[in-house]
Every structure is written in C-alpha cells, then in structure tokens.
Structure 1
Amino acid sequence: MAEEYLYGITLEGPNASEVWDPEHRAEDPDGTSQHFGGDQKLIIKMALLGPEAKAGELNVLEVEATGLKGPIKIPIALLEMGKTSQIILDLSFPDPPVTFTLVKGSGPVHIVGHNLLGSHIEEFEDMEDMEDEMEEENIDDEDDEKAPQKKRKPTAEAKKNGTKRPKTDEAVDK
C-alpha cells in the first residue's frame, strides 16, 4: 500500500506564499530535523476559501513548478466568497520545489492534498491503473448485458426440415 500523508497549507494576506520542497530538511517543533527523502510526489485535490474571506474579493491562486519544458507559473484557482468558494483540483507535482502564491486577494485560501513517499509512488500508480482497467471491464460487461438480443429468422433449410433455430442469440458464459 502507498505511504501517503495529508498535505495542507493556508495562504492568508496579500502575496502570501508557501513552498513545497521535501528535498530540504524540515525542522520539527522539538528541534529535531527530519528528512523523508527525495522520491516524493505532491497531489493537490482542493482549494477553498476560509469562512472569514471577504465577500466580493477575488482570490487568485497561482502555482510555480517545473513543467516538461522548464519552469511554469500559472493560475490554478479563482475563488470569490459568494460565487466560487471552493474548487476541486487534480494536480500532480512530481518534481520539487512547488510554490503556491496568493497573487490577488487576501484569503485565507486553504490548499489540500496528499504527499506520496518513497518507492511506494510507482505501486500507488499501478493500483490506480488496475482500478481504471477494472472499471473499463465493468462498463464493457454492463454494455454487453444491456445490448438487445437479436432474433433470428429460420433458414429455408430449417423450414424444409421442420427444425427451428433458437429465437435469440445465447450469451457466451464468462
């Protein structure tokens, strides 16, 4: 099973920013440092406004990360209390660092997701692929069951011999 942890940050105030970079050691409140290793992946699932966000104020959340052709900086959420207070995202960041910035508005904007660790990342992705394949097979099975059965007309030879063919195509047992 994949080793994963909840990830969550809050951006509050103009130009608030937060960096996800597991390659740098983080320090615990007790003064010890911890290092989870470089093989990590960040998956962001949701961005939402806190209840204390100002009504009518547009909050623009931007991410800066490494893309296929190099660094990329792009807005990922436009949130406004009373209109769009949350948005579902499905963003995956395999390469740190990733910087989240509140480029407009004062928030608070909460960003929620999970952090996958170590060699379990490939295992997690394989499980997702397997689930997708199983869903496709289930859809195909349902389509087969819903398909109308065709009626066959007796052939001239069958009429002559007095035998009849079955009225419907029999489904092959799976």
Structure 2
Amino acid sequence: MADEYFFDFGRFLALTLKGAKASEVWDPEAKGAEDYQGGHKLIIKQALVGPEATEGEVNVVQVEAMTWKDSVKIPIASLKAGGANNQVVLDLSFPDPPVTFSLVQGNGPVHIIGHHLIGSPMEEFDEMDEMEEEMIEDEEGEEGAEEDEDDEEPKSKKAKTVNNSKGKTPVKNNSKAKK
C-alpha cells in the first residue's frame, strides 16, 4: 500500500529543454533532498515554446516516469513555434521521482512549468492532531474549573424564591412577609 502524504508547501519548478535530444531529470532525492523525511510530488501545469524557437518547427516533449509496475515513456506535448499551438495547459501529477523530460523532436527551447510539492506522512499529522486535541481538552478543563469557582457565591447572598399559590410575584425567603 502506498504511503499517504499531506503536502504542506511547494516550490515553483521551471525547466528548459533546448537543443536536439535535450533532456532534464527531476529527482530531488538525488539532489540532496533525501534528508527530508517527507514525500515529493511533481505537478506539471504548462509547456510552451520559447520566443527564440524556429518558426514552424514542431517540438515534441516526452516524459519517462514510473508506474506501479514499470517505466513508461509517453509524449505529453506537441508544440509548434509561431502558431496557435505554441503552448499547452497541462495537469500532470508525478508522485514518485525520478521523472525525465526529453525533447524528442525539434530544437526548442521548450519551457516546462509546474510545482514541486514536499509533504509529510499523514501519520505524522494524525499524531499532531491528537496532541492538539489533548491540549485543547486540558485547557478547557482548566478554564471550566476557574469558571465554576467564579460562579459560586456565598449562600447568604443568594436569595431563594417561593412560588405564590395565587400566581403573584414570588416572594423572597429571606425577607419578612407581613400577614
């Protein structure tokens, strides 16, 4: 079963593929992020051809990533400089590094934009929630005890009322009623 992560912060990600057969690998664990005990997730939002690309040239971006079973290579964008197809909006999620982006056709440059999310295991947040709940309960218990003490008045100051059988306003016990 895959671990579940709560992604609490992220970083902007941008990479450029330029030149024939250009390639970039996203692997934060290989670049020193292995010290962080959380998970990494890559979200790709857009791919676009740079303004210096050769007009009319088709640029094809391919991604290689792991599935639950094996590695897969698939084109994710076909972009043409100088035309209506010079950019594409994407919503691709890669939960496990490494992910390799390659320019399999054209010379680019092709810019890929997204988010690198860094998270913590859900178990860690569950434990934090339990600790917060315990702290709140403790604080409420202390506040409740203080309020109970404040609510208590000396018995001599409290006036008791007695119901009048004739439906009139009740009379206080500690006052002397005349008959």
Contact 1:23–1:37 (8 Å) recurs in 2: no
Structure 1 letter corresponding to 2:15:
I
Query: Is 1:25 aligned to 2:31, yes or no?
Result: yes
1:46 counterpart = 2:46: yes
Letter of the structure 1 residue corresponding to residue 71 of structure 2: P
| Counterpart residue identity of residue 105, structure 1 | G
Gaps of 5+ in 2: 1-6, 124-179
Find the aligned partners of 2:121 and 2:55 in 1 and give their Cα distance: 42
Give TM-score scaled by structure 2 length. Answer: 0.60
Tell me which residue corresponds to 2:94. 93
Aligned residues: 116
Greater Cα offset, 60-69 or 111-120: 111-120
Return the letter of the residue paired with 2:18.
Answer: E
Instruction: Report the equivalent of 1:115.
Output: 116
**Cα deviation, residue 20, structure 1:** 0.4
Q: Secondary structure of 2:8's partner?
A: coil
Instruction: Rate the CA distance shift 1:76–1:19 in 2: closer, same or farther, 3 A.
Output: same
Report the AA paired with residue 119 of structure 2.
G
1:102 aligns with 2:108: no
* Alignment check: 8 A CA contact 1:22 1:36 kept: no
- RMSD of aligned alpha carbons: 2.2
What is the percent sequence identity of the aligned residues? 56
Contact 1:48–1:109 (Cα < 8 Å) also in 2 = yes
Q: Spell out, residue by residue over 1:12-46, the C-alpha distance to the aligned partner (whole angstroms, 9 max, x if none).
A: 000000000011134xxxxxx98545611000000
Which residues of structure 1 form unaligned runs of 5+?
27-32, 123-174
1:10 equivalenced with 2:16 (yes/no): yes
Distance in 1, matches of 2:23 and 2:37, equals: 23
Distance 1:100 1:75, change over 3 A: same
TM-score of the two chains, using structure 1 as the length reference: 0.61
